[in-house]
Structure 1
Amino acid sequence: MDVTEGSTQPDAISPDLIECADGLARPPWAAANRMLQEYYDTEWGMPIRDEQGVYERLCLEAFQSGLSWALVLSKRDAFRHAFARFDPEKVANFCDQDIERLLENPKIIRNRAKIEAAIANAKATLSMREEGGLAALVWSFQPDSTPRPFTLEDIPKQTAESVALSKALKKRGCKFVGPVTAFALMEAIGMVDTHLVGSHRRGSSGVWA
């Protein structure tokens, strides 16, 4: 099924949306609790174009790999505190002692490979400033059209653009940035709009008017 923007789809609400107590329709993951509802309503899919913001999302998507986003989101404040508000200049200078400190922090996800990836990604972020910066690089892979999913099955896990973005990030030293993680990043920062047809959030980013 062609699910790109502009394709023919039923003028109806996706059957995969759940009507919440406030009368708004959300996908199952966003209807699970108030924390996820607020994140879905105010953050997910809204444009992020600054270096720190993209770097933070890149790191959090990496920590989410193999786990639930709800878990990562519930620990986001702790992550921000532990990782110096995701200031790439500060994280790039983390040493072995910092890694051990993070591994002993029960408030975050204590995975050595992911922690080391956050540090590697900070160093890569600094090096990318010479070629326009992390945000510019990531957004250069914005597709010409966005999916228009009517069901959850219509939402791709990865795309040609996310595969290319993954390769570009890895080439520059980034870790934990496979095509699936890259696509999740693209969704989170508004590069694509995968809100289901009928969601009150679809088209709200202003990127895909």
Structure 2
Amino acid sequence: MINIVLFGPPGSGKGTQAQNLIEKFNLKQISTGDLFRYNMKNNTELGELAKSYIDRGELVPDQVTIDMLTDELKKPCDAQGFIFDGFPRTATQTEALEKIVKEILNSDINICLSLIVEDKVLVERLLKRGETSGRTDDSNQEIISNRIKEYYAKTAEVAELYKQQGKYVEVNGVGAIDEISEKLFAEVEKIK
């Protein structure tokens, strides 16, 4: 089983590369954003709880996210592993993910792949995406810059933990999509 934590700031191409990894290695992507949307849309108990925090303008506690993730991993799945996207973002979440993967999947997080792209390139990519996607958060340079800074601030401690475990790998996220994919594939092949 291959379990990947996929990092990349907004505009790094993480979504595209996640799809390529899924196809190549028969993985299932677990995005915390998707989990939140699914649980709230379907009015699950966890969705209602998350919504109660969001409606008050508060951050959803880690335990609610961890419980959603646990429920998702318990569902039957024929994938050969998972890509975790958007989680973990803190040291506490990293420890929780390691524990969940061990208990439910009887496996480990094998690698943390981090797409590295210069901030200037990220801003250019997001502004271009904003022209066609209709996403308001992709059309304002100041908002984009803040999102990028927030991403680095949030993920620094997680990257450090995976570096200490020898599981953190940076991959240049600039260039042809296929070339970047091949670099990611090569890193995953090393752990198979």
How does the TM-score come out when normalised to structure 1? 0.26
The structure in which a higher percent of residues are helix is: 2
Q: Which has the larger radius of gyration?
A: 1
The TM-score normalised by the length of structure 2 is: 0.27
The answer to which structure has the higher strand fraction is 2
